[in-house]
Structure 1
Amino acid sequence: MAAPEHLPARRPLGARLWRACAYFYILLALFSTAMYVRTSMLAPSTYGGVASASLGADLIRTTDPGRIDVWVRGLRAGSPLAQAGVHEGDRLRLDIRWNDFRALETGETFGFTRVAPGQPQHLALIVPEYQGVSRSVGNYRFAITLFDLGLGLMLFFRRRGDFAVEALGMAFVVSTITSNFPSPPAWSIFWTTVAYSGVALVPFLILAFALSFYDSNSRPVTRVEKLGYGALIAGLAAEFALAFYSNAFAYTSPLIRANVVLLIIEESFAYAATVYYFARGYAGASGFLRARYGLLLIALFLTFSLSAVQTYSFLVLKLARMDPENPLYDVNVVLSLIGPLLFAYAVLRHRVVDLGFVLNRTLVYGAVSLIMLTAFGLVEWAVEHVLKPSGRNESALLDAVIAVSVYLTFHRVRDFVERHLEMVFFRRWHDNEKHLRQLVEEASFITRPDRLRSAFVAELVRFTGGAACGLYLLEADGRYRGYSPADSFPPVLDPDEPLLVAMRAQRREIFAPGTATAIPAALALPMLQRNGLLGGVLLGPKPGGEAYRPDEIEVLAFAARQVGLDLHALRIDRLERESARAVEKLRKLEFENGLLRHMRDA
C-alpha cells in the first residue's frame, strides 16, 4: 500500500546517521565544556593535574613491542613520585594503563609497579592538589573554547540541512571537546578517545566543506573524488580504532607504530587536499570570489596547523593537548584563537557562509553587554574604594542608582556600538542600504512615472546583487501590469494570483516559496494605500544563493511602500491634470455650443 502523499519523505540513512553523530558530539562538547568550567573555575581544588605534569617527573612511554610501560625522566627531589620511592630511570608499569595521560583527581590513589631495575615492587601515592600553571589558564582557555563552540553551533544550526556548512560547524564543535578534567578511569579513556577523535575529524570535516564550496563555485566534484573521500573516512575509522586499542590496553607493536605513521599521513593528506581545492579555486577565480578563496585558505591553514599540533602532541609526545607542561601548549593556545578568529573575520567581512542578521545582532548585543558589565563593575569598584558607603542601606541605594544609570544609557550605547560595528564589519551592508534610502528620499521629486519606475527597478537590481525583479501596478481592468519585469516573471498578473492574494490579506512582505504561486520569486513586497493594493514588487533569489536578511527585508518593504505611494501620487496628479483638461475642454465646447445657438437664433 502506497504511503499517503501528505507524509514527508524519510531522510536517507546516511543523512540520519550523520545528524545523530553530530548531535551526539554537540552534547559531548557542551558537557565537557561544563566539566571544564567546574574544574577550572568552581572546584579547582579537585584538579590533580596530568600525571606527567603533577607527580614530579616526565613519564615517557616505552616503544619496544608488548606492554607499554613508562620511563621516569627528570625526577624532582621531594616530588610525590620521589617520596613514594621512585628513582630516576625507573621503569614503571601503571595499574591503570592510561594513567600517564589522564587528568587526575586530588586525593585519588595512583598505583604502579616498579618493574626495573631490580625485583618488581608495587608502590602507590596519593595525588596532591595541583599547584602548577594550569590553575591560572582556565579563564582565557575557557573564553577560547566558548568562541570556537559558539561559532560552530551558530554555523550548524543557522544552516541546518546544508551538509557542507553543518560539517564546517562541526569541525569547530568537535575541536572544543576536552578531557582535561578529573573523571573515573573508565570515563577518562572515553573522554580522551572522544576528544582525540574530534581532533582527528577536524581536517576531514573541513575537507567536506572545501569540496562543496569548490563544487558550487568552480567545477562539479566528480564521483571518483566523492568515493575517494569516503575511502579516507573509512581508513580513518580503522586507524583510530587500532590507536584506541593501543592506548586502552597499553600495547604496542610494529603494526601499531606503522598505524600511527599512516594516521599522520592520512591527516596530512586531508590537509593537503583541502589546500589543493582552495588553491585551485583561488587560481581560477577573480574579484570577490578570489578574495573569498584567499581568506579561507589562510584561515583553514591556521586551523589545520592547530589540528596537526594536537595530533602530534597526542600520538608522538603522549601528552594531553591542553596540559600546560606540554611544550606545544603555547602554540595550541595561539592557534586555537587566531584560526577561528580569522575564519570568523572571513565570514563577517566576506560572507562565505550566510550568517546574516544573526551575526550582526550577536556582535552588537555581545559588545553592548561587555561594555555595560565592565562599566558597572568599574563604577561599583570606584564606589566601594572612593565613596566607601557606611552601611547596607547606603550601599543598596548607590547600587540602585548605578543600575538605573546603566539602564538609561543602554540605548545610547547600543546605537553607538551598532553604528561603529556596522561601519567596520558590515560596511557593505550599510552602504547598500544608504543608496536605497537615498532613492526613496528623492522619489517624491521625480515628476515622470516612467523615470521613477525605471530608477526604482534599477536600484532594486543593484541592491539585491542582480536578482530578478518585477514591478507590478494596478491597471483600470483590475489586472497588474509589469514594468520591465525579468524574463522569468510574467508581463501581467491576474488579481487572483496567490502572491497578490497573500499581500492583500496579510498586508506585509510575503515569502513566495510558502505560497501556491508558480512564479519563481523569493520575496513579494506590497505597495499599499489604505485598504487597497496599488501594486507590488517581486524579487527572485539572490545570484549567490544567499537568503534575504531581516534588515534587508525591512528596508526593501519600506522602499516598496514609499515608492508605491509616490507612484500613486503621480497617477493622481496625472488624473487631476487630465480631469482639468477635460473640464476645460467641456467648458470650451459648451461656450462654442452656446455661441452657435445664439447665432442660429439670431
Structure 2
Amino acid sequence: MTRLWKTVLLAQVLLYGVLGLWALSYAPRSLDRTVAARTGFTLEAPGAQGQRRISALSPTSSLYAAGIRSGDFLTYQRSADQDRFFGQEEKIGLLWTSATGLTHPVLLQPLPLSEQELQVRRVDYIVFWLTGFITLGAGLLIGLQRADSRSMRAFAQVMLAWNPWLFAFYLPASAAQTLFSHLHALYGASSYILFLYFALTYPGDAPLSGRPWALRLFIATFAGEAFIQGFGLAQGLGWIEPANWLPHIPIRFLMAMTIAATSVWILGLSWRRSAGVQRERLGWVVLSMGIAYTCYLLGNLEGLMGWTPVWMGSIRHTIVLIAHIALIYGILRHRILDFGLAVNRALVYTIISSILLVVFGVTEFAVDKLLHFQSRQQNIALDALVALAVILSFHRIQHFVNHRVDHTFFHHWHEAAQRMRNFVARAAHFTDPGILQSRFVQAVDEFGEAIGCAIYLGQDNGEFLLSQASLPRSPPQLGKDHELLVELRLHHDLVRIGECGMSQYGDLAIPMILRDRLAGVLLVGARRSGKLYRPDQVEELRHSTHRIGLHLESLRVHALEEENAAMQAKQTAMALECLQLQLENANLRLSMRSMDKHSS
C-alpha cells in the first residue's frame, strides 16, 4: 500500500509540475501591460438559479457599446472562462439576458489593465506561484517521508490542493483548464475534509479520532460536503436544472467556513492536551494552519457577502504565503520531516547521476573518435558493453559517493557514528556489565542527541527489569505480557513506540535478540532537537544494541562460568575435607579399638 501511495503521489506531482510549466508560459497575461487584460465588468454572486447580475460595467467596454447595462445578466458560454485570466487579443463568448428576459450571444473584447490593477495582478501572480511551489514541494516531501501515516498522507494532499486552483486561473482555454475549473471547487472541498481528518488523527499517539463524537462529526461533514459539491458539479455541467430551494454558492461558502473553524478548533484541543515537544510541534501547526484557514474563512465570507475588494484579496493571499512558509519551517524544525536526510540523498543521487552520465558520454565520445565500426550491429554491441560496465560499477560508485558526501557535507553525522562504532568495538573489553550498560547509555544519548534511554533485561520469570537508565520517568519493570514486549517478540525488530500509541515510553524500542529469544530492550527517548531519528541513525542504534546485547550475554555467561567454577572448586574442597574427616574418623576408631584391647 505504501509503494502504491508513493507511485500515485509521484505521478500526481509530475502532472502538476508539467501543467505548472505550461501555465507559467502564459505569464504575460499577468505581468505584461500590453497583454494582461480585464473583463471590464463585475458580476454579483450567483443566485438561486445560478444567474449572475452585472453590478458594475465600464463605459469603455465593448459590452456597454452593445447596449448592455448594469442590472442585466451575463453567462459565460464556456463556463470555465469565468475562472481564468484573459489576454487582450482574445474574444470571449457570453450570453446576455436583458431586462426584457431575452437572451443574446455577445462577444467581449477584454480591456487593458490600469496601472494599479496591473501592480495588484503582478503581486498576486508572484504570491500565488510561490505558494504553489512551496506547497507542491512540501506535499511531495511529507507524502514520501511519512508514507506510513494516513494522517500525513491526508496532510500531503492538503498541501497539494493549492495547485489545481492555479491551473484553473492561469492555464489558457483548453480541456485541462475546463477540467480544473469544474473540479477545483471539488478539490478544494476535498482538501477541507482531508484537513479535518488530519486534525482528528494527528498526532498519531494521541488522536481525537477514537472518540465517538469525532467519528460522527467527520461522517456528517463528509456526507454534507459530498452532497453540496455533487449537486454543484452536476448543476455546473448542466446535468440538472438549478433549484430555487438550494442556493448552492452560499451553502458552499458556509460549509467551508464551518469545516475550517472546526478543524482549527480541534487542533487547538490537541495542543492543549499535549506536552513537551509534541505541544511545541502542534503549536506550529495550529499557528500556521490557523492563520491560513482564517484567511480562507475570510475569503469565503467575502464571497458570501459579494464584497471582494482587490487589495483585500492580495493582502490575504500574502498572509497565506507567510503562513505556509512558517508551516514549512515548523515541519523542518519539529520532527515531521528531517530535511537533512533529504538533502543528503539528493546530493548523493545527483552526484551519482552526473558521474554516470559523464562516464557514459566520455566513453561514447572516445570510442566514436578512436574506433570505427562498419556495421550498426557492432555499434549497438559496443553501447551495450559500455552500459553494462556502467551498471556493474554503480555499487562501487554509490559507496564512494556516499562516503565522500557524508565526510564532506555531513561530517558531524559521520563523527557521531564513528564514536558509537568505537565504543562498540571497546565494549568487548569491559568486565563489569553494570559499567558497560552505564557507558552504553551515555553513548546512545550522545549519538542520538536523545533526552535519555533505558536498558531492560529479561528475568527468569519473564519480566523485564530496569537495569540502567537516563530516560526520565522510566518504568521500573515491564510485565512479561506488556504490549511493547509483545510487539518486539512478534517482529523481532525495532518498534517505533509513538506509532503504537505508547509514546510515554520513548521514541524507539530496540530489541536484544539472542537465539530467537528476547533477552533485553533498549528504550530510546525523543531527540532533544525534536527531529525524527534518521534511517542511518536507526540502523546504527539497531546494530549497536545487538552487539551490546551479545557482549552483555557474554559477560553473563562468563559470570555464570566463574560462579560454576567457584562452586565446583568449593565442592572439590568440601569433598577433600570430607575425605580427610573420614580418614580422621577411621583413625579414631582404630585408636579406640586398641584402647579397648589393652583395657581387657
Q: TM-score band (shorter)?
A: 0.5 to 0.7
Are the equivalent residues in 2 in contact too, given 1:203–1:267 (CA < 8 A)? yes
Map of 2:434 onto structure 1: 450
The answer to whether residue 35 in structure 2 is matched with residue 60 in structure 1 is: no
**Which digits, 9 at most, give the CA deviation of each residue in 1:291-337, with x for residues without a partner?**
23322221220231343355456666598xxxxx9544533543443
Deviation by residue 1:550-599 (Cα, 9 ceiling, x = unmatched): 222233246447757977998999999x99xx9xxxxxxxxxxxxxxxxx
Q: Are the aligned partners of 2:257 and 2:300 in contact in 1 as well (CA < 8 Å)?
A: no
Deviations 1:464-493 (A, max 9, x none): 7777745689xxxxxxx9996763569xxx
Tell me how far 1:230 sits from its aligned partner: 0.6
Within 5 Å, which residues of 2 pair with 1:356-371? 356=338, 359-364=339-344
One-letter code of the match for 2:433? P
2:206 match: 217
Deviation digits for residues 341-393 of structure 1 (CA, Å, limit 9, x no counterpart) = 33333333332x4x45xx332245669999xxxxxxxxxxxxxxxxxxxxxxx
Q: Please tell me whether residue 233 in structure 1 is matched to residue 222 in structure 2.
A: yes
Q: How does 1:153-232 map to 2 (within 5 A)?
A: 153-160=140-147, 162-178=149-165, 179-184=168-173, 188-213=177-202, 216-217=205-206, 221-232=210-221
User: Could you say which residue in structure 2 is the equivalent of 1:38?
Assistant: 22
User: Does 2:112 correspond to 1:110?
Assistant: no
1:124 maps onto 2:107 in alignment: yes
Map Cα deviations across residues 140-187 of structure 1 (whole Å, 9 max, x no partner).
744432321232233334444533222222211223223123354665
Task: Indicate whether 1:277 and 2:266 are aligned.
Answer: yes
Conservation of the 8 A alpha-carbon contact between 1:210 and 1:278 = yes
Contact 2:201 2:208 in 1 (8 A): no
In structure 1, what is the equivalent of residue 474 of structure 2?
none
Is there any run of 5+ residues in structure 2 with no aligned partner, and where? 351-399, 468-476, 482-487, 498-507, 569-600
Percent of aligned pairs sharing the same letter: 15
- The answer to whether the aligner puts 1:349 opposite 2:333 as a matched pair is yes
Give the alignment of 1:94-493 within 5 angstroms: 94-104=76-86, 108-113=90-95, 115-116=97-98, 122-124=105-107, 132=118, 141-160=128-147, 162-178=149-165, 179-184=168-173, 188-213=177-202, 216-217=205-206, 221-244=210-233, 247=236, 255-256=245-246, 258-309=247-298, 311-312=300-301, 326-331=310-315, 333-351=317-335, 353=336, 355-356=337-338, 359-364=339-344, 418=410, 448-456=432-440, 469-470=455-456, 487=478
Closer, same or farther: CA 74–416 of 1 in aligned 2, 3 Å: farther
Q: Would the aligned equivalents of 1:461 and 1:468 in 2 still touch at CA under 8 Å? A: no
Aligned-partner SS, 2:170: coil
- SS of the counterpart of 2:210? coil
The answer as to whether partners of 1:472 and 1:536 remain within 8 angstroms in 2 is yes
Give the residue type in structure 2 aligned to 1:173.
L
Write the deviation string for residues 237-280 of structure 1: whole angstroms up to 9, x where unpaired.
22223444565569877644x44333333323223322332333
Post-superposition offset of 1:235: 0.8
- Work out whether residues 199 and 310 of structure 1, in 8 Å CA contact, stay in contact via their aligned partners in 2: no
Q: 1:136 to 1:229 in 2, by over 3 A?
A: closer
Alignment of 1:530-569 (within 5 A): 538-539=521-522, 549-557=534-542, 559-560=544-545, 563=548
Q: How many Å apart are 1:211 and its aligned residue?
A: 1.4
1-side partners of 2:557 and 2:539: how far apart?
27
Aligned equivalents of 2:141 and 2:411: distance in 1?
23
Between the aligned partners of 1:183 and 1:206, the Cα distance in structure 2 is 30
Task: Go from structure 1 to structure 2 and tell me whether the alpha carbon gap of 1:73 and 1:200 turns closer, same or farther (over 3 Å shift).
Answer: same
SS in structure 1 at match of 2:163: coil
- Following superposition, the deviation at residue 540 of structure 1 comes to 6.5
Equivalences, count: 490
Q: 1:317 to 1:182 in 2, by over 3 A?
A: farther
Q: Is contact 1:48-1:54 (8 Å) kept? A: yes
Cα separation, 2, equivalents of 1:449 and 1:259: 72
| Residues 40 and 138, structure 1, Cα contact 8 Å, conserved in 2 | no
Could you tell me how far apart the structure 1 residues matched to 2:495 and 2:277 are? 28
Counterpart residue identity of residue 204, structure 1:
I
What is the CA–CA distance in structure 2 between the aligned matches of 1:264 and 1:510, rounded to whole Å?
47
Query: Structure 1 residues 541, 177: CA separation in 2 closer, same or farther (over 3 Å shift)?
Result: farther
Query: Which SS does the other structure have where 1:176 is aligned?
Result: helix
**Residue pair 1:522, 1:540 contacting (<8 A) in 2 also:** yes
Using structure 2 for the length normalisation, give the TM-score. 0.59
Provide the rounded CA distance (Å) in 2 between the counterparts of 1:136 and 1:369. Answer: 36
Q: What is the one-letter code of the residue matched to 2:107?
A: A
1:305/1:96 CA distance change after superposition, 3 Å: same
Amino acid at match of 1:101: D
Q: Helix, strand or coil: the match of 1:154? A: helix
C-alpha distance in structure 1 between counterparts of 2:406 and 2:126, whole Å: 27
Tell me if the contact between 2:209 and 2:215 (Cα under 8 Å) persists in the aligned partners. Answer: no
Please give the alpha-carbon distance, in whole angstroms, between the structure 1 residues aligned to 2:152 and 2:298: 25
The 1:439–1:54 alpha-carbon spacing in structure 2 relative to 1, beyond 3 Å, is same
> Which amino acid counterpart does residue 162 of structure 1 have in structure 2?
S
Note the 1:513-524 alignment, pairs <5 A: 523-524=510-511
| Cα RMSD after superposing both structures | 6.4
| Deviation (angstroms), 1:191 | 0.9
Residues 99/458 of structure 1: CA separation in 2 closer, same or farther (3 Å cut): closer
Residues 267 and 282, structure 2, Cα contact 8 Å, conserved in 1 = yes
**CA distance in 2: counterparts of 1:345 and 1:434, whole angstroms:** 30
Which runs of 5 or more structure 1 residues have no equivalent in the other structure? 1-10, 320-324, 371-407, 423-429, 474-480, 491-498, 504-508, 514-520, 583-602
TM-score (norm 1): 0.59
CA distance in 1, matches of 2:46, 2:333: 52
With 293-302 and 53-62 compared, the bigger mean Cα shift is at: 53-62
Contact 2:80 2:181 in 1 (8 A): no
- When residues 293 and 267 of structure 1 are mapped into structure 2, their CA distance, relative to the original with a 3 A threshold, is same
Aligned residue for 1:60, secondary structure, equals strand
Distance in 2, matches of 1:151 and 1:450, equals 46
| SS at 2:41 equivalent | strand
Cα contact 2:199–2:267 (8 A) shared by 1: yes
Distance 1:130 1:566, change over 3 A: farther
Q: What is the CA distance between 1:231 and its match in structure 2?
A: 0.9
Indicate if the aligned counterparts of 1:28 and 1:177 stay in contact, CA closer than 8 A: no
Q: Work out the CA distance in 2 between the residues paired with 1:302 and 1:23.
A: 32
Question: Helix, strand or coil: the match of 1:339?
Answer: helix
Please state whether the residue corresponding to 1:262 is helix, strand or coil.
helix
